Amino acid sequence: MKEEYEQYPQRIAEKRKDHLQCSDASIKSKQLEDGHNDDLIALDEKALLQQCYTNKPYNMQHSIRKLEAEDVAAERRKQAVVEQVMVDQLCRAVISDPEQSTRSDVCKEAQGLLELGTAPVHFRKRILHETKIRTKSGLTENMLSNKLRFDSRIISRNGRDACRELIGFFFACDRSLTVYEFRQFGRNRTNALPFIQKGVYRHQRGQRKGKTYDLGDLYVGANLTFRSVDHNLPESVKQNPVFTLRVISIDEAAMDFLKASSVEFKQQCSKQADSKVFKKIQGIFRGTLSKRGVRVITGLGKYFRQVDKSRNGFLSQAAFKEALRVFHLEIPEGDFESLWLILDDSKSDKVDYGEFTRAIFGEMNEYRKAFVRKAYMKLDFNKTGSVPMVDVRKCYCAKKHPLVLAGKAAEEEIKSSFLETLGETCSNPTEVSYSEFEDYYEGLSFGIVCDDDFVNILRNSWGV
């Protein structure tokens, strides 16, 4: 027994040595297979350790039960919001209609008192429930039933805003839309409040700027832009004059029904394809990001936050060119000018650096993004917008990592490598913001082709 205890540290040292040799060999073999001669630093190697964390987290029966429970809970939330929307629109429509105050008899009565000034409130005659009045905006349940429900999220670097649960509705009867925010307080108390009031809105950016939203503008991945001054929004959202909602899912059954009943949709609907300029530039960086995605994306994000002295998220053309030069990312001058003309549609010579990053690199699809948001919401249970690194260490799980299961690495070793990689990307090493957390997995996503493999990394690590 004494000899075994003396040999134990030697065995642990040999295991770690074998693990390092194994990881080095796997990285080198991948490089040879892909034909890349990129110099991978320690940060890249630690990120590649996370890419192989793709084994299935649960047995099939457990996974199916969990997915069914999540679907039931999501459907209940959506049904609660639908009921609230119908109550709000049907109960308040006629009483709050402005036309109730513009009837001819009211105008005549007020005309007789013009010599004495404006008529006092108690002299004005206004019958709210007079059935003779038929306002133009009178809505019925049948009219409101022809609607398309869609889920959306705010594109923001603020963690509280990015994780808001927004459910929108497009009404075919008058081409109006509204967006509600679903909130849950504890286990049983829930609430649904209007985030964007019902109305007819127009595109604020892009090729369709100034045109009203139509059914063809709603699809998974679509961006809906609104002016901040037109709505009663949180101060963090009001910081930008225009904010963007990304459609993350739609009610396919309702969409098919509305398509069949709408002739205009068949003639006008055409999904906006990605710009050729974006695709060309993204193709230039695709090979680089497959191996060094985490380092490039998180490094650029950290650099932009340091350069952004005004803290408004916008940088000039010269600042972006300098950033690309620092990170050895070359874009042909002609392509860069074309890109800038598309992004700087307000001609202010400043562009949001999150939008710039998404334009030149692309971004993960909404299926992957949903699990990233779910993982961060689990960490940020107080919804403060940032998570202490101590809580990240407590929640991260490395038990099911292939190297741990094979006995080639200790659980603490995998956890430490992840925390070191994440910590290097943060402006404040003691806490992680939503944008930094998202940037890390955005970079990791470039090297993973299969959606299920990427989702398994998050499920294994965070138990979502």
pLDDT of residue 267: 40
* Cα–Cα dist 180/206, whole Å: 24
What is the tens place of the pLDDT at every residue in 291-319? Answer: 778 888 888 888 888 888 888 888 888 89
DSSP 8-state class, residue 206: S
Structural fold of domain 141-261: PH-domain like (2.30.29)
Q: What is the mean pLDDT of residues 436-444?
A: 89
- 385 neighbors 171 (Cβ within 8 angstroms): no
CA 450 – CA 447 distance, rounded (Å): 10
What mean pLDDT comes out for the span 354-367? 88
Q: Which CATH class is domain 273-462?
A: mainly alpha
Q: Please indicate whether the domains covering 141-261 and 273-462 agree at the CATH topology level.
A: no
**Residue 80, C-beta contacts closer than 8 angstroms, at least 6 positions apart:** 182, 190, 192
> Which one, of 146, 161, 237, 242, lies nearest residue 201 by Cα?
242
The pLDDT-based confidence of 20 (bands split at 50, 70, 90) is: very low
Domain boundaries, the chain: 141-261, 273-462
DSSP state of 332: -
Q: How confident is the model at residue 55 (pLDDT cuts 50, 70, 90)?
A: low
Please check whether residue 154 is in contact with residue 138, taking contact to mean a CB–CB distance below 8 angstroms: no
Tell me the pTM.
Answer: 0.73
